[in-house]
Amino acid sequence: MTALDHVDLELLAALAEDPRATVVALSDRLGLSRNTVQARMSRLDKAGVFLSYERALSPTALGFPIEAFLNVTVRQAELPRITAELERIPEIVQVHGLSGTVDLLVRVACRDTQHLFDTDARILAIEGVERTETSLAMGEVIGYRVRPLMELAREER
């Protein structure tokens, strides 16, 4: 990925402040031409700066108010196949590969505790999954954020 310059960081800060901003609004705000903003947005997109254009939806609003994190230990040689099988479980909303004693951190959303129990059982039934340890999420204390990192990056330029 190419390094972000001052203009890129200002553009990203403007998008973080108003994710729905149009290219025209961004160009007005930053004092740049519409073509410049569009070209930079395209370059940033191709460079993998934007993680997703998917709207973040509340699992609770969809009828899945129970969220949990499962520490999953697997047989390493089977990780690609296990990951493919995990992708087929709709209750899994996110998976991170970890270093250390736990291999995967799996975030799930379920209707109730029985549904959570059943989802855990489906994960454990995958060949190569050795064990899981479940922690019920009591609430999000700090949501996903990058604005503080952006401010730090802007200060360092």
Per-residue b or e along 34-59, where b marks 16 or more CB atoms closer than 10 Å to that residue's CB = eebbeebbeebeeeebeeeeeeeeeb
The pLDDT value given to residue 53? 81
Whole-number Å distance between alpha carbons of 96 and 84 = 13
The DSSP bridge partners found for residue 73 are 131
The separation between CA 120 and the C-alpha centre of its own chain, rounded to angstroms, equals: 21
- Written as six digits, the tokens of 156 are 């360092």
Q: How far apart are CA 101 and CA 90, in angstroms?
A: 26
Cα separation, 26 vs 42, whole angstroms: 14
In this prediction, residue 1 carries a pLDDT of: 53
pLDDT in tens, the chain (157 residues): 568 899 999 999 999 889 899 999 999 999 999 999 999 999 999 999 998 887 888 999 999 999 999 999 999 999 999 999 999 999 999 999 999 999 999 999 999 999 999 999 999 999 999 999 999 999 999 988 888 988 888 887 7
Copy the structure tokens of residue 1: 């990925």
Predicted local confidence at residue 156, as pLDDT: 79
Query: Burial, 81: exposed, middle or buried (Cβ in 10 Å; 0-12, 13-18, 19+)?
Result: middle
Residues β-bridged to residue 68:
108, 136
The model's pTM:
0.82
